[in-house]
Structure 1
Amino acid sequence: MEDTLQTLDDLISQFLSLDRPLWSSSDDADAFLEAVDELTSTIHGLENTSEDRVLLESFDLLLESCSMRLKDEFQRLIATSGLDDNHRDHNIKKSQDEDDSHTFVAPPIRDFDIIVDALPEGVATQANRIARRMIAAGFGDICAETYASARRNFIDESIARLGVHAHMAERFKSTSWEELETQIMRWIPAIRVVFHILIPSERHLCNCIFDGFTSYSDLAFATACTPFLQLLSFANFIAAAGQKPESLFRIVDMYDALTDILTVVDEAFHHEITALRECLGLSIEGIFVALEKLIRRDSSESSPADGGVHPITRYVMNYLMAACASRHTLEEAMQSEFGCTETCLINPDRPTSSLAVRFAWIVDVLIENLESKSRIYGHVPLGCVFLINNGIYITKKVNGCELKVLLGEDWTRVISSKVHQWVSEYRRATWGRAIMILERDIRCSHGGYWWRSSKQWI
């Protein structure tokens, strides 16, 4: 065995001493792998039969030296990866409106059935040959980590060329909402390219290189894709930052984007995507709570002097109309708020009640606020005119869009009855004095004194 060790040591040392890549010569690569195979086989035989621990340790040290050289060769092979010009032009391009000083943006993708071959032809096969030897030698974890490290530059470049950054949450944490909206509009198409094209391509490459070794393929894939997870975390940051009513629509867009990729997402990311959707859903619920607070805080001293429609009424109803355009997404995001589960059937013409209850409650809060504002006029008829004008505006807005479908006929009739109630109050306030006089005179009238008494009071 000592002779075998010496022979293998002499042979392998010739390769280890070379200062050029072994894979620059296919003959050298083949010969080195054959020597590693023989060394590994010898060690396995010694482990089962030999009690010479010193000799076994010598073989192990030699195998470790081989594995470290294989690691360097493996990293060099993987690091040669890169999209060719055709792939770059097909998947990622610079905005036509931007010059060379600007970042790239993700174009609309219409064909998601794309797998990018990120390594030159034949390299994945050679990398697989190395991976099998390193795993057999007990260095599978190091091989997986080396793969992830070698792929990092390619993945970071791919993300950057989509016009976004893996660490967007950190970069824009002190940015205005207007700038965040711009970043969201970059993030949405970028995340679709990432999960429809880049991640499936990365999974395909891992499966090729670690063919037959699922656990190491999963480890290499998960470690290499860390930047994609960091890019996803931007949604979590937006969910926390967007707590004002105006942030609703961009958050809904992000929610829709995550819903879209959830149908194709790799199993390794499924839990993360689901958790982020739930986080955005909670943010959406929080936005409607913020809208309610905004209505309650609106000053009661700013009512129109002529009893016209109040700005807060226009704002709230136009806001609800705009939000109603995304009612199916909002219903899905909020379906757990009032006890609905994912098994609830959502009728496209009459959604489940969570969103309807929330919208109805917001309008109720608005009407309560308007009734409070009507009392500042100090003149009951004008206060009634104010309520009637705002009530008619509300009912027209509801009847003119999908809000009526969402809220239902019963709720619409309740609001209409309130308007009729305010009309009745207006009539009583304007004609009540005259009616009171007439009723009094009728009770006490006799002969010509009725006309004289009525004239005196009127």
Structure 2
Amino acid sequence: MPTKAMRSLFFHPKAPSFSFSSQSSPSRSSISFPTPQSSRSACSNISETMVDEMLENAAVMIMKWNPESSAFGRLTSLFYESKKEAQQYIKCVNDLQRVMQFLVSDDPTSEKLVHAQSLMQIAMKRLQKEFYQILSMNRAQLDPESVSSRSRSSRSASSTSDDDIDDGEDKDFAGDTISNVEQASSMAMTDLKSIAECMISSGYAKECVHIYNMIRKSIIDEAMYKLGVERISSSQINKMDREILELKIQSWLNAVKVSMTTLFYGERILCDHVFAVSKSIRESCFAHIAREAATLLFGLPQVFVSKSKKNYPEEFIFRLLDMYTAISEYWPEIESIFCFESTATARSEALNSLIRLSESVRSMLSEFETSIQKDSSKSPVTGGGVHPLTLRVMSHLSLLTDYSNVLADIFIDWTPPAKLPLPESEDSSVSAISLRMVWLILVLVCRLDDKAKQYKEVSLSYLFLANNLQHVISKVRTSNLQFLLGEEWISKHEAKVRQFAANYERLTWGVVLSTLPENLSAEMSSQEARLIFRNFNFSLEETFQKQKLNVVADAKLRDEIKASVKKKLVPVYKEFYDTHKVSVGSVRNVAMYVRITPEDVAHYLSDLY
């Protein structure tokens, strides 16, 4: 999973400014849009005869679909009834607009102009109704998922940018590979675009935008509600049970995924397509529709981390990292979809959430370090086994490394303490998160050194250290810690485990071995032989009784210790046994003094740990 460093999040492509405020619906006078027929030169090729003809054709078509004078027009949808006639209707309205522009420049007091204006008002009411019906009746086909799916299907056929959208792209929307839903979505989008362009060029952008914003914002708001995104206060979070908070965060994580891959992505595509004729309008519409929902969504992590830190369990750091990961993974999409100045608040909330989450993760890891240093358990672990502190710390750290990439982002500027020992091969290129993990494990090992002093027997202290350091290494080996700490670190600490184990063997089993003479084959009296056998038997049984209560949790280490003790003890005893068994004397004396055979020693050792 690629992670974007925090420093990169402060650089955004500057969005172009709007020609009107995005806080309100655009008015006819404030919107900039292309009007090919707006100049006198564009109308100079229209004759009086053409004016009459175009005016008559427009009147016939417009009155046919006038809902106030025609039952047919009142009950039937133009774009649903006939796509061909709908296109003719749009053409008639565009021609009417050309006629009006000609008449304004030729004779502003003309009765024909008054008639044309009346027809235009009727036509705009019709188109408003059609625009509303298409948006309302095609909610399923125009849901962001369908729109985004259609966009992905057609992306390979067209890579037209926002500023280069033209009528030709409509041809890319239909195809044999597009599903029925996507095809219906494509048709509805094409109809909406043609109506929007007609209304905008006729000076009715405000009415068109109002309808669009009203319906599309309700869809976004409804979707966010279904995703469980709701406004919540810090006080509510503080009163919330941990389980409920976990569910809220999980719901938020799902909402981010759906929103960025479908909801906002699809809405941006739809808005850009419908209002392709005017950059300022599509920017304003998208901001009106999505800004509030996006700002709420991206700002929620800041509310989640407002809970009193004393109430956070250690495991809550993983939820913080989940939220950080969700935003950082979708940061390119956030910058792309909400690139406008009018949607800057959405980007700001996402960035502020990253900063707050980062601070909280740092704080919780510092508190975790403090909890290691202040662990107050006084009783030594029975049998020199793995301490609960070791289990807790290494489990926590190994799970943390599943988030190595985002942690590297969060701790990019962390400076390790001067006393942190590093392998010779490590240098300034070592990542901050690697150093952070090395330091936390060092804190743990130092605390274990203190706890080893709780044992009265020094040998058991070494067994305790061997057990715990071996558990540390095992967790490193089986997690992403191995990539952060490296083979040199692992090898160095494996050598320490071997040294601890060797010290334990020497102090524990060296006592047994010391009961045998240095010169195993030297001649000795029966009394000397009996004494050595008796001392060996007593020492071995005493040591065995003590050691059978001790544990070596790691199977590999356990086998290594037993094999090492067996290798040191059994051959030496066997040589002495074979040489001096006969020196003990009678069969009765052998039974009394030589109770343990070399095979018995091996069995004793096999039953340990």
| TM-score, reference length from structure 1 | 0.61
Partner of 1:166, secondary structure, is: coil
Q: Structure 2 vs 1, CA of residues 44 and 266 (structure 1 numbering), >3 Å: closer, same or farther?
A: farther
CA distance in 1, matches of 2:143, 2:285: 27
Among 295, 305, 323, the alignment partner of 2:372 is: 295
- Give the whole-Å Cα distance in 1 for the aligned partners of 2:481 and 2:95: 76
Counterpart residue type for residue 294 of structure 1: S
Partners of 2:201 and 2:141 in 1: how far apart? 33
- The offset of 1:192, in angstroms, is 3.2
Letter of the structure 2 residue corresponding to residue 269 of structure 1? F
- Conservation of the 8 A alpha-carbon contact between 1:156 and 1:166: no
Asked whether the 8 Å contact 2:145–2:262 carries over to 1, the reply is: no
Identity %: 24
Q: How does 1:59-458 map to 2 (within 5 A)?
A: 71=128, 73-83=130-140, 117=182, 122-140=187-205, 143-159=208-224, 164-167=227-230, 173=237, 174-226=239-291, 227-238=293-304, 244-262=313-331, 267-269=336-338, 272=347, 275=351, 276-277=353-354, 279-301=356-378, 303-304=380-381, 308-337=385-414, 352-373=430-451, 377=454, 381=458, 384-385=461-462, 387=465, 389-399=467-477, 401-412=479-490
| Cα deviations by residue, 1:320-363 (Å, 9 ceiling, x for unpaired) | 12223443443345435459xxxxxxxxxxx9511111112212
Q: Alpha carbons of 1:299 and 1:379: their partners in 2 closer, same or farther (altered >3 Å)? A: same
Contact (CA 8 Å) 2:358, 2:410: kept in 1 or not? yes
Distance 1:294 1:69 in 2: 71
Report the Cα distance in structure 1 between the residues aligned to 2:181 and 2:224, rounded to whole angstroms. Answer: 14
1:6-25 matched pairs, under 5 angstroms: 15=66, 17=68, 20=74, 23-24=77-78
Count of residue pairs the alignment pairs up:
387
Alpha-carbon distance in 2 for matches of 1:143, 1:302: 76
**1:356 and 1:202 mapped to 2: Cα distance?**
42
CA distance in 1, matches of 2:411, 2:118: 60
Larger relative contact order (Cα-Cα within 8 Å, sequence gap ≥ 6): 2
| Contact 2:302-2:356 within 8 A present in 1 as well | yes
Deviation at 1:317? 0.9
Consecutive unaligned residues of structure 1, counting only runs of 5 or more, are 93-112, 340-350, 431-458
CA distance in 2, matches of 1:372, 1:139: 80
| Alpha-carbon distance in 1 for matches of 2:485, 2:121 | 71
Give the distance between the partners of 2:315 and 2:280, measured in 1 at CA: 45
Instruction: Give the stretch that moved more between structures: 315-324 or 413-422.
Output: 413-422
Aligned-partner residue type, residue 297 of structure 2:
L
Quote how far apart the aligned CAs of 1:151 are. 1.7
- Does structure 1 conserve the Cα–Cα contact (< 8 Å) formed by 2:145 and 2:263? no
Q: What's the CA shift for 1:295?
A: 2.1
Q: 1:396 to 1:121 in 2, by over 3 A?
A: closer
Change (3 A) 1:367 1:164: same
C-alpha distance in structure 2 between counterparts of 1:142 and 1:233, whole Å? 32
Instruction: Report the AA paired with residue 317 of structure 2.
Output: L
Deviations 1:152-201 (A, max 9, x none): 343345456xx622327569835333334344444445543433334443
Aligned to 1:433: none
* Aligned 8 A contact 1:78 1:119 in 2: no
2:268, 2:337 within 8 Å by CA — same for their partners in 1?
no
Cα deviation for residue 311 of structure 1 reads 1.3
Comparing 285-294 with 309-318, which one deviates more in the overlay? 285-294
Per the alignment, do residues 33 and 147 of structure 1 end up closer, same or farther by CA in structure 2, a change over 3 Å counting? same
Name the counterpart of 2:568. none
Rounded Cα–Cα distance in structure 1 between residues aligned with 2:106 and 2:482: 83
Contact 1:134 1:140 in 2 (8 A): yes
State the alpha-carbon separation in 1 of the partners of residues 240 and 179 from structure 2. 35
Would the alpha carbon gap of residues 71 and 289 (structure 1) be closer, same or farther in structure 2, given more than 3 Å must change? farther
Structure 2: distance between partners of 1:88 and 1:195: 11
CA contact (8 A) 2:229 2:297 kept: yes
For structure 1, which segment, 130-139 or 59-68, has the greater mean C-alpha deviation from structure 2 after superposition? 59-68
Assess if the C-alpha contact under 8 Å between 1:128 and 1:210 holds in 2: yes
Q: What amino acid maps onto 1:135 in structure 2?
A: I
Q: Counterparts of 1:417 and 1:355 in 2: how far apart (Å)?
A: 24
SS, match of residue 386 in structure 2: coil
> Hey, what's the Cα distance between the residues in 2 that align with 1:87 and 1:259?
22
Q: 1:17 to 1:324 in 2, by over 3 A?
A: same
Q: Distance in 1 between matches of 2:143 and 2:267?
A: 18
Would the aligned equivalents of 2:66 and 2:126 in 1 still touch at CA under 8 Å? no
Against the structure 1 CA distance between its residues 383 and 141, is the aligned structure 2 distance closer, same or farther, given a 3 Å change threshold?
farther
Paired with 2:488 and 2:477, the residues of 1 have a C-alpha distance of 13
Q: Residue 65 and residue 230 in structure 1: after superposition, are their counterparts in 2 closer, same or farther (change >3 A)?
A: farther
Secondary structure at 2:276's aligned position in 1? coil
Task: Let me know the Cα RMSD of the aligned residues.
Answer: 5.5
TM-score, normalisation: structure 2: 0.48
CA distance in 1, matches of 2:141, 2:120: 37
What secondary structure does 1:245 align onto?
coil
Asked if 2 retains the 8 angstrom alpha-carbon contact of 1:192 and 1:257, the reply is yes
Answer whether contact 1:317 1:394 (CA < 8 A) is retained.
yes
Render the CA deviation track for 1:37-62: whole Å, top value 9, x for unaligned: 5775577668879999xxx99x9999
Asked whether the 8 Å contact 1:21–1:73 carries over to 2, the reply is: no
Choose 228-237 or 359-368, whichever is displaced more.
228-237
Q: CA deviation at 1:429?
A: 11
Aligned AA (1:404):
Q
Cα pair 2:228 2:255 within 8 Å, conserved: no
Q: Is the 8 A contact 1:87 1:116 kept in 2?
A: no
Distance in 2 separating the partners of 1:141 and 1:337:
53
